[in-house]
Amino acid sequence: MDTYVQVDPTQQLDAYKAVKKIPLEEYFTSGHRTCQGCESALVMKMMAKAAGPRTIVLGSTGCMYVANTTYYSTSWVLPWMHTQLGSSGSAALGASAAFKALMRKGKMKKEPINVIAFCGDGGGADMGVGAISATLTHPDYNCLILMYDNESYANTDIQLSGSTPWGANTTFSTPGRVRRIMHRRWKKNMAGMMAAGHPTCRYVATVCMSYGLAAMNSIRKALAIGGPTFIHSLDPCPKGWDYDPYISHELGELAVNTGIWPLYEVEDGVLKLTGRTQQIAAKKVPRQPVRDYLLKQGRFAHFTNDDIDYFQNKVDEMWEKWLVPGVIPFRTELDADAAPSS
Ligand SMILES: Cc1ncc(C[n+]2csc(CCOP(=O)(O)OP(=O)(O)O)c2C)c(N)n1
Ligand code: SF4
Ligand SMILES: [Mg+2]
């Protein structure tokens, strides 16, 4: 770290060594109205638990705002504030700066307080990406931005976002008889972009709550390391992805095991593949075919075998052709000469 940057101390949040070590206290509890099987609600619950009681949470508009703070009821036990759809980055930085100023002026007891701002993929990867980027360039403010990615603008009825997978059926990309695939853009690589583009940001990670202990430990590391940090969580969404809520957990695992959702962390510029992704990369376990994941979801029910092959090839490319598999989506000139792109 630069010595001239005045970073306030953070809470000491050591990793939980086992599930049994996770505290029983809940800071996101009953009272919400999310769909049955909503993984984003689980992210909120585990995020609050991992952060503990000396935490303020700022939430941008989306399912995790609307369903969790319906008039006269809320599931938040922590202090919570709503912020505008595209402003998780500014809310995180502003709250952190406010605490700093109040403590400096003696108007508040000096103590480390966790500041977490969450956003959905629409609010984060699309609308709020500029504010998140700006925040990650301010190393002297401690805050975590957590982007919960249900791969659509879910709250307003499943419109496609920059995070929606290729070909998925959303209310903005309904397959028709003349044109089957209405969404032809590949999913934005948000975590990779945040890690590669913000060299002074000390911690960026991808998580999935199907691997809850690891995800909670990522959140604890992000809060304790100092400075602004970013976590991108992939969250199966029964309503938007159109499947039985019973298989939410399994779908999260499949996203990782098929290589569609690589788990990794970048800590002080050092990249580490984590969990099952590390095992796949080391060839200790095989990467499952994407078909196993896609065909369990109604949003891909219109896919033909050719569509599945296209999707598989794109994922194979991530693993076989990217400079850093699953993380950095370009090749060096040498690699490109050796194997022209398909
Ligand atoms: C500036 C602005 N434009 C549009 C809306 C309407 N709106 C509310 S929630 C939402 C969807 C947000 O999607 P995402 O961030 O992915 O969160 P999710 O609903 O999926 O949880 C939209 C478009 C808004 N609140 N503010
Ligand atoms: S639409 Fe999806 S993200 Fe929103 S509450 Fe339902 S399951 Fe959760
Ligand atoms: Mg969303």
63 CB near ligand 2 (under 6 Å): yes
Work out the pLDDT band at 70, boundaries 50, 70, 90. Answer: confident
Pocket lining: 229 vs ligand 1, CB cutoff 6 Å: no
Among candidate residues 36, 43, 71, 73, the one with its CA nearest the CA of residue 57: 43
Query: Which tokens sit at 213?
Result: 């202990």
Higher pLDDT, 1 or 153: 153
User: Which of 36, 157, 237 should be mutated for ligand 2, with most atoms under 8 A from CB?
Assistant: 237
Whether residue 1 is predicted with pLDDT greater than 70 in this model: the reply is no
Could you tell me if residue 2 is inside a domain? no
**Domain tally for the chain?**
1
Average of per-residue pLDDT across 75-91:
97
| pLDDT at residue 2 greater than cutoff 60 | no
Give the three-state DSSP class for 236: coil
Q: Looking at the domain assignment, is residue 331 inside a domain?
A: yes
Nearest-atom index, ligand 1, CA of 148: 21
pLDDT at 342: 45
Interatomic CA distance for residues 197 and 40, integer angstroms:
26
CATH classification of the domain holding 169 = 3.40.50.970
Atom of ligand 2 nearest to the CA of 63: 4
Q: In this structure, what DSSP letter does residue 243 have?
A: S
Cβ–ligand 1 contact at 161 (below 6 Å): yes
In a domain, residue 91? The reply is yes
Residue 202: Cβ-neighbour burial (10 angstroms; 0-12, 13-18, 19+): buried
The pLDDT value given to residue 245: 97
Average pLDDT of the segment spanning 170-193: 97
Contacts of 48 (CB under 8 A, 6+ apart): 26, 27, 28, 55, 57, 76, 77, 78
Q: Which range of residues forms the domain containing residue 246?
A: 19-338
What pLDDT shows up at residue 73?
86
Residue-wise pLDDT tens digits, 5-31:
778 899 999 999 999 999 999 999 998
Average pLDDT, the chain: 95
User: Is a pLDDT exceeding 90 seen at residue 204?
Assistant: yes
Is 330 inside a domain boundary? yes
In a domain, 230, yes or no: yes
**Can you give the pLDDT at residue 315?**
97
* Ligand 1 mutation pick, 60, 153, 161, max ligand atoms within 8 A of CB: 153
**Is there a domain that residue 4 lies in?**
no
* Segment 237-291, tens digit of pLDDT: 999 999 999 999 999 999 999 999 999 999 999 999 999 999 999 999 999 999 9
Q: Is the CB of 59 under 6 A from ligand 1?
A: no
Section 49-74 average pLDDT: 94
In a domain, 82, yes or no: yes
Give just the sign of the alpha carbon dihedral 277, 283, 284, 286.
Answer: positive
Q: Is the pTM of this model over 0.85?
A: yes
The 10s digit of each residue's pLDDT in 281-316 is 999 999 999 999 999 999 999 999 999 999 999 999
Is residue 39 situated within a structural domain?
A: yes
